[in-house]
Amino acid sequence: MKWIVGLGNPGASYAKTRHNVGFMVIDELARRWGIAMNGSKYKALVGEGNIAGTKVALIKPITYMNLSGEAVRAYMDFYKLNIEDGIIVYDDLDTEVGKLRLRYQGSAGGHNGIKSLIAHLNTQKFNRVRMGISRPEPGIVIADYVLSKFAKAEQGRLEEMIGNACDAIEYSLKHPFEDTMGKYNG
């Protein structure tokens, strides 16, 4: 089974914030693939389906960002999933809005959701789709910035980035992640 986790925070007040682009990608994949996100398992909203002959799980942890690893570890343990079959989608301050950076390992880079995953998975080696949210202007508190909504001028780039992330994830269902990185990075 392939499994895709979008990181974010539950609740309407967080829905369109920069920190929730991982949830936005999961929602778009669910829409594209006709998968209902109505299952609640292991501190996560889950939708499962069969996409072009591949069983796929879409996962949105509802533990809040800083505890994302709890939900992912519980889901992985129950289904005995391989880490190589998963993809984590999340926001990245160090990447410009509209750009993707795909990686298969690395540090948390200050991202609390990734810190939690690394702690619960006991590894820094897992497939990632990092969604650009850009850094704030000097003087703006990072926590406030990531919990803010995208500016109107960024909406087009945001929608294109979400579409590109979904395309990359779809491509990865049939191709090695390294090939996906080569095709979609940038």
Catalytic residues: 19
Strand order in the sheet with 100-103: 39-41, 44-51, 54-61, 2-6, 86-92, 127-132, 100-103
Q: Give, to the nearest 10 degrees, the angle between helix 68-79 and helix 112-121.
A: 30
Write down how long the chain is: 186
Phi, psi for residue 59 in degrees, rounded to 5: -130, 130
Contacts of 183 (CB under 8 A, 6+ apart): 168, 171, 175
Q: Are 171 and 54 in contact (CB under 8 A)?
A: no
* Torsional sign, CA 20, 116, 142, 89: negative
Using alpha carbons, select from 45, 42, 47 the residue that is nearest to residue 60: 45
- Which tokens is 137 given? 């202007």
